[in-house]
Structure 1
Amino acid sequence: MSSLEADREQWSTRAGFVLAAVGSAVGLGNIWRFPFVTGEGGGAGFLLVYLLFVASIGLPAILIEFVVGRRTRSNPIGAFERIGTGVWRYVGWVFVVTTFVIMSYYSVVAGWTIRYTILGLGEGYATDPGAAGEQFLTLAQGVEAMAFHALFLLVIVAIVGLGIRRGIEVAVKVMMPAIVLIVAGLAVWAATLDGASAAYAYYLSPDFGSIAADWTSILPAAAGQAFYTLSLGFGIMITYASYLGEDRNLIEDAAIIIGFDTAIALAVGLVVFPILFTAGIDPGDPGVGAIFITLAAAFGGLTAGGLVGAVFFLTVAVAALSSAISLTEVVVAYAIDERGMGRLRATALVCAALFVLGLGPAYDIVLLELYDGFADGVLLLLGGLLVTAYVAWGWSEEAIEELEAGIGHLDRLGTCWIWLARVPVLVVVAVSLALGVVEYVGFIEESFLPWLRGS
């Protein structure tokens, strides 16, 4: 079935599209990953590089995906089969594979957030980081983790199976305002904590010497986080833009989405780091379980920490849901457009496959780190590199023409956008990809292979 012949849904309102795209961008990328990669990167130095990437790379890159999606009105695979030539026709598969890999462990992490919300309202969090680590490993691995992984996927089936307007759009219109209000309230509360001033210095005052010394690790991490948090390289923005009409100003929508996403990321840092500094916990403690160990331990030592922690982890769970909806929609859109499946059947089959693939990360945290490192450090940047290279160099006239729809003639602005994509974006993404591959190989040698030999 051709995607152009299919009776495709469209967003009923501009707000629905913007909130869905922001919800996709905010998700676990901002609330789960952002604190721990910022801590690993040294705080303000990483933040500065990350913000530079968002402004200089994020806007041109998100527009690349927007024009492909709206022009083709198709999922990533169908889109590149229409516009691509030769081997470029298969680029869309990179996005679908990336999305599938990420969603398989994303739902496992989302299951943790549900479990930690319940924990805060019940027995509470361990107060010592060591005990919190043991508590985390108990909850994050094994049969219980698999059960919450399945529970989260069932919620996804219920929402995505209802469609764009009745399912996704309705859900994000409720979830996104709730996330913004709760994060803002937590940031105001965190400002009253004893460690707030030290945390702000760590988070907001960059040390340029440390940036220069650690640029080989900061650069790929910051670029990967920028792509992750803006949902670039997933194919999400291609898919969501495929449900747009021609009268939309894509530049304006992109700026709003990036602005909201960045503001929420910054606000999350204003919540997390004051809590960690008040509890005397090192914010640089690495690992995918950072907020579930260090932050949970910090909540455990605060007055009413269980209740505040439950509110925080509930917010993370809602944010995870908003992103998971968009991740799942990429693969579901492929099944509907290219395989002619009904929406509910396609969603159920996709989530069943995700459950099976996610059993490994739910079984052991090392496998989750293996998935995450491959997706974040390699696949996301590879997808971003390929789509940008083809659109900027091989499809530039059509891209500028599509960007002008709903805006009017751009004159030199369209040319400037294409050249930003052709040179700065491609160079930064290519370098970051090379460094990311090196770092991932190092992880395999230092962590995964010893685990494999010992298992």
Structure 2
Amino acid sequence: MVERETWATRIGFLLASIGSAVGLGNIWRFPFQTAENGGATFLVVYLVAVVVIGIPAVLAEFVVGRRANINAITAFEKLGRPNWKVAGALGVFTGFWVLSYYSVIGGWVIRYIGASATGGYVDDPAAYFGAVSAGPEAVVLHAVFLAATVGIVALGVEDGIELATKFMVPSVVLLMMGLAVFGATLPNAGEGFAYFLAPDLDVLAANLGSVVPAAVGQALFSLSLGFSVMITYASYIGEDDNLVVDGATIAAFNTFVGVLAGLIVFPLLFAEGVSPDTAGPGAIFISVPTALGELPFGGAVGVVFFAIVLIASLSSSISLLEVVVSYLVDTYDVSRPVVASGLGLVLFVLGVPSAWDTDWLGWFDAIAVNLFLPLTVVLVVFFVGWIVARDAVDEVRQGAEGLPDISTLWLWSVRTVVLLAVLGTLALGVLELATPSDAYIVPPL
């Protein structure tokens, strides 16, 4: 029997969980979601969504993981509800599905570090992105990024994931703070700050129906909810940890990094007159390089920026792979390096279509964000709030002695506000998938 691993330190668990949340969801997805949904208006709604929905949902996943002290699928069986294993299985599958194309984007980031050093994208960033984002080179870099992910996870919880994230997370934060300070010195930086930090309530009132679902979806994605990551990571922690404090800490750091990303990206865009409204998903691969190409020392800034994105991407990808590895190691008593390597090969094959054609990547992402992710969160939240409510309250109180008891308030927020909000997000996501759109049609083979 393979002995089950644990975190060596509480800070290791926190940094690993923060690292899972602080990835492309913050540095790639957050800026363009902000730009597409009214700038500071979106930021305000997003912050509310993190507090009201994100933190209670993180705590729900923590409860399942620590209470069961086992992987995300077996956890539901151990809690006496074997029929609910589907919730854990869907989360594990969602993480695996996302990692197959997430690693393709990670490969793009590797390419852009080199391109920043050589000035490869300066002449025409849009054409450059079109040339390198798909095809044989993208397939190779997809494999390179996956190999790095597999190598870290294969080393184990303490010697691999915990050790790596203890380096990655502080590095990301320090480098981003440095770039944010640099961004503040750029011409027209004030316009970028105003766009990002000064909300227009009239814009919010006019676009509430689109901004709120986008903000809730971003909160779920950026906090690694719906991937069974937080269930898995919480299964490695002890009974003395305060889950409420841990959940709030992770959400706070995650939000801080997202705001830092905005404080970097928007001053860069406004400094060179690049409209944030047209940045879209290519913001960090087209719009940001366009701005960097006009800056003194833009190449050096680009190397640092894309190095940050790479480190953050790896910290998230290892959590997505660990979810599946944890289940297989726990269930089948097999070697962690063998399992991690085998899954890496499967992920490589699954991700080849996304690396060969970005239309495939868009389809994979649409299915994950609009269907798999919110559906998983709905199942977990309902399970915790209505099926194992008494055990959930007991678990939240565990390790929180001497502090105000918020377990009952948390339970009712999970049962009502959180559940309804995520159900609404799921309904809108399904509607979006059902609406004819080139972005969501399966590309031809």
AA matched with 2:128:
Q
Summarize the alignment of residues 36-115 of structure 1 with structure 2, pairs less than 5 Å apart.
36-83=32-79, 85=81, 87-115=83-111
Q: Does the Cα contact within 8 Å between 1:66 and 1:237 map onto a contact in 2? A: yes
Gaps of 5+ in 2: none
Q: Does the Cα contact within 8 Å between 1:150 and 1:355 map onto a contact in 2? A: yes
Alignment of 1:445 with 2:441, yes or no, is: no
Is the partner of 1:248 in helix, strand or coil? Answer: coil
Out of 200, 215, 230, the position equivalent to 2:193 is 200
Per-residue displacement from partner, 1:48-91 (whole Å, max 9, x unpaired)? 11110001111111110011101111121111222253642321
Total equivalences in the alignment: 445
User: 2:404 & 2:299 partners in 1: Cα distance?
Assistant: 56
Summarize the alignment of residues 26-425 of structure 1 with structure 2, pairs less than 5 Å apart.
26-83=22-79, 85=81, 87-127=83-123, 131-408=124-401, 413-425=406-418
User: 1:86 & 1:313 partners in 2: Cα distance?
Assistant: 44
Is the partner of 2:7 in helix, strand or coil? Answer: coil
Is the partner of 2:187 in helix, strand or coil? Answer: coil
User: 2:35 & 2:338 partners in 1: Cα distance?
Assistant: 42
User: 1:39 & 1:72 partners in 2: Cα distance?
Assistant: 41
Is the partner of 1:289 in helix, strand or coil? Answer: helix
Identity of aligned residues (%): 47
Is the partner of 2:199 in helix, strand or coil? Answer: coil
1:427 matched residue in structure 2: 420
Task: Choose 365-374 or 107-116, whichever is displaced more.
Answer: 365-374
Q: Does the Cα contact within 8 Å between 1:248 and 1:406 map onto a contact in 2? A: yes
CA separation of 1:83 and 1:125: change in aligned 2, threshold 3 A: same
Per-residue displacement from partner, 1:344-399 (whole Å, max 9, x unpaired)? 01101111111111111111111111111211122111111110001100101001
Task: Choose 90-99 or 79-88, whichever is displaced more.
Answer: 79-88
Per-residue displacement from partner, 1:126-180 (whole Å, max 9, x unpaired)? 25xxx21111011110010010000011111211100011111111111111111
How far does residue 124 in structure 1 lie from its aligned partner after superposition? 3.5
User: 1:304 & 1:411 partners in 2: Cα distance?
Assistant: 51
AA matched with 1:356:
V
CA separation of 1:76 and 1:244: change in aligned 2, threshold 3 A: same
Q: Does the Cα contact within 8 Å between 1:125 and 1:306 map onto a contact in 2? A: no
User: 1:90 & 1:39 partners in 2: Cα distance?
Assistant: 36
CA separation of 1:411 and 1:84: change in aligned 2, threshold 3 A: farther
Gaps of 5+ in 1: none
User: 2:239 & 2:405 partners in 1: Cα distance?
Assistant: 21
Q: Does the Cα contact within 8 Å between 1:233 and 1:384 map onto a contact in 2? A: yes
AA matched with 1:124:
G
How far does residue 257 in structure 1 lie from its aligned partner after superposition? 1.0
User: 2:196 & 2:388 partners in 1: Cα distance?
Assistant: 41
User: 2:77 & 2:255 partners in 1: Cα distance?
Assistant: 33
Q: Does the Cα contact within 8 Å between 2:359 and 2:443 map onto a contact in 1? A: no
User: 1:320 & 1:192 partners in 2: Cα distance?
Assistant: 27
Q: Does the Cα contact within 8 Å between 2:363 and 2:439 map onto a contact in 1? A: no
User: 1:84 & 1:40 partners in 2: Cα distance?
Assistant: 44
TM-score (structure 2 length as normaliser): 0.97
User: 1:402 & 1:277 partners in 2: Cα distance?
Assistant: 48
User: 1:186 & 1:410 partners in 2: Cα distance?
Assistant: 38
Is the partner of 1:288 in helix, strand or coil? Answer: helix
AA matched with 2:12:
G
Task: Choose 405-414 or 54-63, whichever is displaced more.
Answer: 405-414
User: 2:250 & 2:439 partners in 1: Cα distance?
Assistant: 37
How far does residue 6 in structure 1 lie from its aligned partner after superposition? 5.5
User: 1:35 & 1:267 partners in 2: Cα distance?
Assistant: 10
Is the partner of 2:273 in helix, strand or coil? Answer: coil
Task: Choose 167-176 or 213-222, whichever is displaced more.
Answer: 213-222
Structure 1 runs of 4+ off > 4 angstroms?
409-412
CA separation of 1:409 and 1:427: change in aligned 2, threshold 3 A: farther
How far does residue 212 in structure 1 lie from its aligned partner after superposition? 2.4
How far does residue 24 in structure 1 lie from its aligned partner after superposition? 0.5
How far does residue 240 in structure 1 lie from its aligned partner after superposition? 0.3
Per-residue displacement from partner, 1:95-144 (whole Å, max 9, x unpaired)? 011101110011000111110001111133225xxx21111011110010
